[in-house]
Structure 1
């Protein structure tokens, strides 16, 4: 069986899980949305930190604050307001009255305290944003509607990172703790949230299927959406061409947010579908393992950075649907030096860097491996183009098909992390800390964000000072200095900032994009007749 046949069969089987019993027209007769985007490996929002989990976080759970709009802005959510002490250490949040979990119990300050303590105790998922500055015992509830955080040291991105933390139902989770697992085994397949949609547990199959039922009693109400969607069936389709075909046939209402550019015209020509195009803050990166030869040599890294054909990929393969991004932060975010040039495709410069690296003893004669996400076609396209250009320099590179969970598992140690791997860094929260701060500070080694294992004491000092400085103007200067130094060291290859492309059925109304969540906020959507 060929690889193409295997992938097509996998896609067809994925569709067969749900599409066969329900013809497209029957779906349209019901208030049912079929969402074709990727699901996370599990449902515990404190255990997983990736783009698919943002869909779960936005819809099954609530947070103290959350982002909306583009550019994204913080707005109070479960919290009505907050105060911060002059020294930047004490943060106090007041909760809104009337919020309830899906089991009908009220959301209290104790649940918020439990949620943060659980996250910090598990030390997984988004905990990395808080562990350096917050101890579990320093999250307290002075009363039923007040939560207080006392930081070990000032942390300027604290409020920006607050939307990372889902508030879970303490009573439900604690009732399902086994062997000191924080209830994670149970929560990975169940729902303990208060969000606008609740899980139908009978529907859930990890990474394959999930049904969400509208929470009619959600504390924000539904008055701003006259026809909210009552049932959402999340049914990922693994293979790109199968996913696009399913959208055009009316079998799904939305693709993932990585629609290949060569499919845009096809989707837009179809009478029943359209493409949502939105400027995001999602950076496409080729990581280099700085602890493995030859990438432990700066000139070798610069050789690879100069050998990637940025314009060929961005303008030809991706047809200009992206913006060149010369550094680790999105170009539409503060903290970037003005006129940052970055690297450009220059075979002569690449050869000169390679020659310098060889003279310094870099091992450029071994075959390197680049790991791609086989379900995302762009990663394969980038690797194939890169492979061809490196071959002209006498460098052999093997393309290794993989998946997001496999790659992120491997990146926990430099010994197991790939030589190179391709991924995007998306907007989990809107602050340079989300990108440069957690990607290049050595204290984050062991996380997928810091998987290039780049270390520079000067950069560590700049990043740590930036996150502890209260004024944005001063932080901006520090991040600019850090960015310039990082780009000079070339630990990774930064390619573009994404124009997000998502295929949608024209019957989907009220789709609202924000870089945080990528447009997966269901509470605004409705279906036309």
Structure 2
């Protein structure tokens, strides 16, 4: 990051974080044009598959609808913010020792579960240890559960294997806390701003938690409706059946712009819909083949056709919103002749047809696969686009197939992506990228002090991705919400910041 003193907390890079009211650092709304009004029920739609609903906050959550529900009833330690971009939630403050290995998180004063029990360090330790056992270092980057311990009744200490300046960021929205010993999550007992009243097949009604430690929300209730496709959700908001269509996509955004009763909330440079190439084995293991496919992409054409212009060209590096994003890397342009030569040098079999697997999950995802397949025909690569149902995709394709599309509904930092999908230790290594130099660069970046050394380390990570990583990051889509004009102060933060709805209100 461009790390001055103001930004020390931005990624947890300073020795301590300032105390703040939870949620107040998120710059989470548009100008309301009047005093907030209490009351009312917000009806919001979110994408999901009824066959993939999940109640366990420590499981892999694939439905945006479930993630939205959980983010409102459970408190994580930290959440996305704007200035700084790591904001307090259940943890009111945090600080590390001089080596940045022992991090102490203090529980917010007055934090209590919906059943009235106060949140204690025992609850947080039990929750984080459970998450570490289930998801490994991907979600809680410590070596073992024994590195998560109480520091008195209202604080916990996490001890990392080596210096880790990024821990508060890496814990954002990944650390939902439940009462110690909870194994039945059907009641959804958390400490968040809303309480679960009912849940049926992915649809939920949540009611205001008047005793929330961050201050009572303005809305009386939020009703979350699961939609199987962006198109059905767009139709619902156009017809007035819901008040907000979350991450509904560019086509709906263009339609809504002509409607006086609807507003379009645009989060630039927000959603990654990318192509993952398996790097360890199979037809795309040779880095020359991966380079050829990158050179076969017409990025401007992809943004125009897939995103209807609601997006920007990218450069094969995840984390384009990071202040340390390396704009000095040469922007890849389409070069058909060079791509053909690389394929010939690698002795790539252009006589075969290779499957490109996708699913109708993110807006434009299937279309991105189809446009990409048409484009790489020009370099001699024949792809068959295979559209799978989400269940089949995650069971059969994700983490296994040679070539498939993935989407990330958050444009997070370079370090976030490095930790979640690129290091050899992560369980979510979508391209099976096992690169010793990358792992070392990541470890060096975690240990780097704030300022120029951290920026240099971050750029080293990006250069390896750019040169030989497994992703084709052809562009970044704008996040698009369509809402009734009565909805005020919807979050404008990108990525998972959009689920922080505790300050939303409805005008009369």
> What's the TM-score bracket when you normalise by the shorter of the two chains?
0.7 to 0.9
Deviations 1:483-522 (A, max 9, x none): 2132122522111223211111112112122224242222
SS in 1 for 2:72: helix
* Alignment of 1:118 onto 2:130: yes
Determine the structure 1 residue equivalent to 2:477. 498
Cα distance change, pair 332–138 in 1 and its aligned pair in 2 (3 A): closer
SS in 1 for 2:257: helix
SS in 1 for 2:94: strand
For 1:483 and 1:169, locate their aligned partners in 2 and report how far apart those are by CA, in whole Å.
Answer: 40
* C-alpha deviation, 1:75, in angstroms: 2.5
Cα distance change, pair 91–368 in 1 and its aligned pair in 2 (3 A): same
Deviations 1:187-230 (A, max 9, x none): 2x4302110111124x321xx312212112212123xx6xx222
* C-alpha deviation, 1:331, in angstroms: 2.5
* C-alpha deviation, 1:49, in angstroms: 5.0
Determine the structure 2 residue equivalent to 1:399. 385
Determine the structure 2 residue equivalent to 1:204. 200
SS in 2 for 1:407: helix
Determine the structure 1 residue equivalent to 2:219. 229
Determine the structure 2 residue equivalent to 1:27. none
* C-alpha deviation, 1:59, in angstroms: 0.7
SS in 2 for 1:236: strand
- Asked if structure 2 preserves the Cα contact closer than 8 Å seen for 1:425 and 1:435, the reply is no
SS in 2 for 1:170: coil
Cα distance change, pair 314–373 in 1 and its aligned pair in 2 (3 A): same
Cα RMSD for the two superposed structures? 2.4
Which of 75, 86, 109 is matched with 1:62 structurally?
75
Equivalent residues in 2 for 1:182-221 (5 A)? 183=183, 186-187=184-185, 189-201=186-198, 203-205=199-201, 208-221=202-215
- Asked if structure 1 preserves the Cα contact closer than 8 Å seen for 2:354 and 2:384, the reply is yes
What is the TM-score when the length of structure 1 is the normalising length? 0.81
- Asked if structure 1 preserves the Cα contact closer than 8 Å seen for 2:296 and 2:339, the reply is yes
For 2:117 and 2:138, locate their aligned partners in 1 and report how far apart those are by CA, in whole Å.
Answer: 30
Determine the structure 1 residue equivalent to 2:423. 441
Equivalent residues in 2 for 1:18-57 (5 A)? 31-39=40-48, 41-49=53-61, 52=64, 54-57=67-70
For 2:88 and 2:360, locate their aligned partners in 1 and report how far apart those are by CA, in whole Å.
Answer: 39
- Asked if structure 2 preserves the Cα contact closer than 8 Å seen for 1:411 and 1:451, the reply is no
Mean Cα deviation higher: 364-373 or 44-53: 44-53
Equivalent residues in 2 for 1:260-299 (5 A)? 261-299=250-288
For 1:377 and 1:169, locate their aligned partners in 2 and report how far apart those are by CA, in whole Å.
Answer: 36
Determine the structure 2 residue equivalent to 1:367. 353
* Alignment of 1:140 onto 2:149: yes
For 1:165 and 1:230, locate their aligned partners in 2 and report how far apart those are by CA, in whole Å.
Answer: 26
For 2:76 and 2:306, locate their aligned partners in 1 and report how far apart those are by CA, in whole Å.
Answer: 39
- Asked if structure 1 preserves the Cα contact closer than 8 Å seen for 2:169 and 2:416, the reply is no
* C-alpha deviation, 1:166, in angstroms: 1.0
Cα distance change, pair 317–431 in 1 and its aligned pair in 2 (3 A): closer
Equivalent residues in 2 for 1:464-503 (5 A)? 464-503=443-482
- Asked if structure 1 preserves the Cα contact closer than 8 Å seen for 2:165 and 2:446, the reply is yes
Which of 221, 240, 244 is matched with 1:250 structurally?
240
Deviations 1:354-402 (A, max 9, x none): 22222xxx33432211122224341121111122223344432111112
Cα distance change, pair 140–242 in 1 and its aligned pair in 2 (3 A): closer
Determine the structure 2 residue equivalent to 1:383. 369
SS in 2 for 1:211: strand
For 2:244 and 2:266, locate their aligned partners in 1 and report how far apart those are by CA, in whole Å.
Answer: 13
Which of 153, 170, 173 is matched with 2:180 structurally?
170
Determine the structure 2 residue equivalent to 1:14. none
Cα distance change, pair 284–377 in 1 and its aligned pair in 2 (3 A): closer
Which of 485, 489, 503 is matched with 1:510 structurally?
489
For 1:248 and 1:298, locate their aligned partners in 2 and report how far apart those are by CA, in whole Å.
Answer: 46
Determine the structure 2 residue equivalent to 1:150. 159
* C-alpha deviation, 1:277, in angstroms: 0.7
The alignment of Structure 1 onto Structure 2 pairs a total of residues equal to: 465
Cα distance change, pair 375–75 in 1 and its aligned pair in 2 (3 A): closer
* Alignment of 1:424 onto 2:407: yes
For 1:328 and 1:56, locate their aligned partners in 2 and report how far apart those are by CA, in whole Å.
Answer: 30
* Alignment of 1:526 onto 2:508: no
* C-alpha deviation, 1:406, in angstroms: 3.8
* C-alpha deviation, 1:342, in angstroms: 4.2
SS in 2 for 1:519: helix
For 2:278 and 2:164, locate their aligned partners in 1 and report how far apart those are by CA, in whole Å.
Answer: 29
SS in 1 for 2:256: helix
What is the TM-score when the length of structure 2 is the normalising length? 0.85
For 1:437 and 1:160, locate their aligned partners in 2 and report how far apart those are by CA, in whole Å.
Answer: 11
